[in-house]
Amino acid sequence: MKTQFDVIVVGGGGSGLACAMAAAQGGADVLLLEKQPKLGGATGLAIGSFTANRTALQIRAGIDDNPDDHEEDAAKFGPPAYQVKNNRRLRRFFFDHGADTLEWMGRMGLRFYGPSPEPPNRVPRMHNVVPNAKAYIAAFQLGLLRAGGTILCSAPAEQLVVDAGRVTGLVATVNGERHTFRARAGVVLAAGDYANAPDIIARYRGPEFTAIEGINPHALGDGHRLAEQVGARLVNMEIAYGPELRFVPRARDGFEQLLPSKGLAMRLMGLMLPLVPKPVVHWMIKRLLVTWQHPEDAILSDGAILLNRQGRRFCDELHSPSREVAVAGQAEKIAYILMDQRLCTRYSAWPHFISTAPEIAYAYVNDYLRLRPDVAIAGKTAAEVAEARSLPAAEVQNTVARFNAFATGLEKDPFHRTDRPSHLAGSRWVLLGPVKAYFTTTEGGAAINEQMQVLDEDDRPIPGLYAVGQNGLGGIVLWGHGLHIAWAITSGRLAGTRLGELARRREMTQSTHSLANSAATAPSSWPR
């Protein structure tokens, strides 16, 4: 087995594949290691939004935009307490390069729909890849292989190799055997977040959150652990997107997985997209939307209740994150959302929706009943929908009666709610679920500079070590749709391009030294 390469990339998601492909296209001999049997990572689970400014699609739509405005708008998303911890310099640097990344992907055949608005962004900036995020994975994998790169799946990296203060390789298990791989130019960490790593979550968020799962079950903080092994400084590790309630995924791949994500079919689909009526495009995106999405908190604020498998309420539905912690403590870590006739009517039309991809598609009650019958059921009574999901009907009826006694002021709420919700009634009921509490992603990562070099506790680069995507967030806060994928692919492209250049320089230097040595040892009859 070959063990010597210019560049070794740990992780086969969007950031790792983009980095490996860019490095290989630049002339580097690249090895990509993925611990799972197939590529994709968290990127492969996403809708595929890519948010950027000054893009060709913006220009075509007559939209005037710039990185300064984008940075200012980005600070308006998410909790202010998190935004004050943002690395503004690095995030501003990122916003300088997103449009170039989008153009780079266009040259490899990827097509995008948009730009679409997402307030408080002042102009539309969100671009959605056609047909879904798996198109990124297919395109990068093909590009890497065409450029001569090597991919090893089911090959977890276990530790970095350091010689004289420089990261020179790593140890990985391949086919059950440990191998040491050497990297002449550098090792890149691109192994995703730690949303499903209870020990890391407990360390930085608190032990009460350890039962909450990550939306990507394989997000175990592998890259963060490797970085910490060699003295990397980790920043913003307490910041996470979530916990939040999300519908459980389909038991099998849905319609969206049947759409072409590679080859000529994908390109034809992208070329034809401008000719497709917007309602049809929105319908396609809606199919994606209901696959992996979370119900809006407003549903619970408006009076829906949470039930466990025993048909009982178990928490104050209005308070997060204690609500999500309570869900994770239920049997099978699941719960259900019960809606009465008033709520079913309210969440059947704008501006009240079950879930959304902002300003692109909105999913209402009937959308879930039609597209996700596995997580949505309707009936004439609460007992009817309860029985359809094997919840004890009598217990559900009793729960509704007790909630109505609280809503009308006859009883105090056992979970200390102090609001006055509407009582639950009517001849149309919908039960949504199962829902689980998930961390969508985590915002902590290794400190890096603008060359994607990992920094130590004294802010000095650790020679030979780079980090991209969720491993190399560097303190930037990426609230809002489309920024995580944009950072993953942009940081990967920039790191890969730099490493490709370093590999070429090294090869040229070695060639020059070889020629000089040959000339120095040549017989006197050789030309000098």
pLDDT at 267 over 60: no
pLDDT for residue 360: 57
- The lowest-confidence range among 6-10, 288-292, 318-322 is 288-292
Question: For residue 260, is the peptide bond before it cis, meaning its omega torsion is within 30 degrees of 0?
Answer: no
DSSP state of 72: H
* Type of residue numbered 86: N
Supply the mean pLDDT for the chain.
Answer: 90
* Averaged pLDDT, 71-81: 95
Residue 514 has pLDDT above 90, yes or no: no
pLDDT for 283: 54
CA-to-CA dists, residue 120 to 59, 289, 328, 435, angstroms: 20, 21, 32, 28
Predicted confidence (pLDDT) at residue 253 exceeds the cutoff of 60: no
Q: What is the pLDDT of residue 281?
A: 52
Residue 190 scores a pLDDT above 80: yes
3 state SS of 412: coil
pLDDT at 307 over 60: yes
Cβ neighbours, 10 Å, residue 239 = 25
Which residue do the tokens 């060699």 mark?
Answer: 230
Phi, psi of 8 (to 5 degrees): -120, 125
Task: Please list the alpha-helical segments (H only) found in 26-159.
Answer: 56-60, 67-74, 80-83, 88-107, 134-146
pLDDT attached to residue 397: 98
Rounded to the nearest 10 degrees, the angle between the axes of helix 14-25 and helix 483-521 is: 30
- Please tell me the distance from the alpha carbon of residue 151 to that of residue 362, in angstroms, as a whole number: 39
Q: How far apart are CA 371 and CA 362, in angstroms?
A: 13
Q: Decide the pairing of beta strands 30-33 and 150-152.
A: parallel
Whole-number pLDDT of residue 273: 45
- In the numeric block, the tokens 């597209």 are attached to 371
Average pLDDT over residues 126-140: 90
Radius of gyration of the chain (CA): 26
d(CA 199, CA 79): 24
Flag whether pLDDT at 201 surpasses 90: yes
Contact 495, 468 (CB under 8 A): yes
pLDDT, residue 522, reads: 47
**220-242 pLDDT per residue, tens:** 999 999 999 999 999 999 999 99
Q: For residue 77, how many C-alpha atoms fall within 13 Å in the half-sphere facing its CB?
A: 20
How many other CB atoms are found less than 10 A from the CB of residue 83?
16
Average pLDDT on 22-49 reads 93
Classify residue 114 by its DSSP letter.
Answer: E
The Cα 130–Cα 285 span in angstroms is 10
> Which 3 state secondary structure label does DSSP give 336?
strand
**For 245-309, what is the HEC assignment?**
EEECCCCCCCHHHHCCCCHHHHHHHHHHHHHCCHHHHHHHHHHHHCCCCCCCHHHHHCCCEEECC
Q: What is the predicted pLDDT for the residue at 291?
A: 53
Amino acid at 413: D
CA distance 305 to 99: 44
Residue with tokens 């870590």: 333
Q: b vs e for 322-349, b when ≥16 Cβ sit within 10 Å of the residue's Cβ? A: ebbbbbbebeebbbbbbbbebbbebbee
Query: Residue 278 has what pLDDT?
Result: 56
For 383, the token pair is: 């007992």
Closest CA to 353 of 400, 425, 299, 287: 299
How far apart are alpha carbons 88 and 399 in whole angstroms?
49
Structural contact between residues 431 and 338, judged by C-beta atoms closer than 8 angstroms: yes
pTM reported for the whole predicted model: 0.89
Ordered domains of the chain (ranges, CATH): 4-242+441-508 (3.50.50.60), 286-439 (3.90.700.10)
Give mean pLDDT, residues 3-24: 98
Cα 75 from Cα 480, distance rounded (Å):
10
User: Phi-psi category of 501—alpha, beta or left, where left has phi over 0 and alpha has psi -120 to 50?
Assistant: alpha
Question: Quick one: pLDDT band at residue 47, thresholds 50, 70, 90?
Answer: confident
Are the beta carbons of 338 and 304 closer than 8 angstroms?
A: yes
Predicted confidence band of residue 270 (pLDDT cuts 50, 70, 90): very low
According to the model, what pLDDT value does residue 266 have? Answer: 40
Q: Which residue has the tokens 């092994």?
A: 229
pLDDT for 132 equals 82
- Dist. CA 351–CA 422, nearest whole Å: 19
Q: How many CB atoms lie within 10 A of CB 252?
A: 7
Q: What pLDDT is recorded for position 116? A: 92
- The answer, yes or no, to whether residue 259 has pLDDT greater than 50, is no
- Measured CA to CA in angstroms, residue 308 lies from 174, 264, 330, 386 at distances of 43, 47, 7, 11
Is residue 85 classed exposed, middle or buried when 0-12, 13-18 and 19+ CB atoms within 10 A define those classes? Answer: middle
Model pLDDT for residues 79-104, shown as the tens digit of each residue? 999 999 999 999 999 999 999 999 99
What percent of the chain has a predicted confidence (pLDDT) above 90? 81
At residue 14, does pLDDT exceed 60?
yes
Cα–Cα distance for residue pair 404/424, rounded to 1 Å: 6
Q: Is residue 13 a contact partner of residue 218, using CB atoms and an 8 Å limit?
A: no
pLDDT surpassing 70 at residue 358 = no
Q: Say if residue 289's pLDDT is above 80.
A: no
Distance CA 16, CA 21 (A): 8
**What is the band of 280 on the pLDDT scale with cuts at 50, 70, 90?**
low
**Alpha-carbon span 231 to 465, nearest angstrom:** 11
Q: How far is CA 149 from the centre of its chain?
A: 25
pLDDT tens-digit series, residues 430-451: 999 999 999 999 999 999 999 9
pLDDT on residue 131 = 81
